[in-house]
Amino acid sequence: MEDAAKSEPNDANAMALATVDAEGLPNVRIVLIKDIEDDAFVFYTNFESAKGRELDANGKAALVVHWKTTRRQVRVRGTVTREDGAVADAYYASRPLDSRLGAWASRQSEPLDSRETLIDRVEAARAEHGTDPARPPFWGGYRIRPESFEFWSDGAYRLHDREVWRRDPATGGWTAQRLYP
């Protein structure tokens, strides 16, 4: 990602996050990777959004990052837990004030009748929460703990390199396997 950030026009940390709904129908959308911990990818969202409900219901997700400039793809599948403690508080506090108020104002994924309603809700949040709002209880992070990775890089004539790394549940160690492209 550091490498890609040098050449990507923007959002080298954008990932497509896949979840499944209660009927097993996949759902995918872009979110930003805000931290890469030793054992997890962290992103932030509204817990009551479609993705939040889907993640809370089954605790699993997949993600993919594609950098066009470096012609690389990274896929991850894993388990998901909420980050709704001090780490989420600190990240929330680091955001611009209007983003913090926007988190209060947006009932993410719910029907919205007009843009004016959203703007009114931001101003109502400003009046209520002032210049140092606390993190909303319905907003925070999720940690995706990888069970497997796939690293793909572009090769001439479609002879790409693909390698899957899987976590051994018994030992926690990783094994790598090359795949046909």
Ligand X SMILES: Cc1cc2nc3c(=O)[nH]c(=O)nc-3n(C[C@H](O)[C@H](O)[C@H](O)COP(=O)(O)O)c2cc1C
- Position 82 contacts ligand X (CB under 6 A): no
Nearby residues of 66 by Cβ (< 8 Å), 6 or more positions away:
16, 72, 73
158 given a catalytic annotation:
yes
- Position 50 contacts ligand X (CB under 6 A): yes
Closest by CA to 98, choosing from 80, 117, 123, is: 123
CB of 65 to ligand X, least distance (A): 12
Can you tell me which of 18, 47, 51, 88 binds ligand X, judged by CB under 6 A?
Answer: 51
Stretch that binds ligand X, among 47-55, 66-74, 77-85, 118-126 (CB under 6 A): 47-55
CB of 177 to ligand X, least distance (A): 31
- Position 30 contacts ligand X (CB under 6 A): yes
Q: Would you state the structure tokens that stand for residue 49, as one six-digit string?
A: 């959004």
Can you tell me which of 109, 138, 148, 151 binds ligand X, judged by CB under 6 A?
Answer: 109
- Position 1 contacts ligand X (CB under 6 A): no
Instruction: Answer for the pair 151, 54: CB distance below 8 angstroms, yes or no.
Output: no
Rounded distance, CA 61 to CA 8, Å?
Answer: 25
Can you tell me which of 3, 7, 26, 32 binds ligand X, judged by CB under 6 A?
Answer: 32
| 3-class SS of residue 17 | strand
- Sequential DSSP letters for 89-143: HHHHHHS-HHHHHHHHH--TTS--S-HHHHHHHHHHHHHHHTTSPPPPTTEEEEE
Instruction: Answer for the pair 77, 173: CB distance below 8 angstroms, yes or no.
Output: no
CB of 34 to ligand X, least distance (A): 7
Closest by CA to 65, choosing from 12, 137, 116, 129, is: 12
Stretch that binds ligand X, among 37-45, 83-91, 154-162, 164-172 (CB under 6 A): 37-45
Can you tell me which of 5, 8, 21, 29 binds ligand X, judged by CB under 6 A?
Answer: 29
Check 145, 158, 162, 167 and give the catalytic one.
Answer: 158
Count of residues engaged in binding ligand X, rule: CB under 6 A = 15
Q: Which residues are at the interface with ligand X (CB under 6 A)?
A: 11, 14, 27, 29-32, 43-45, 49-51, 108-109
The residues annotated with a catalytic role in the active site are 158
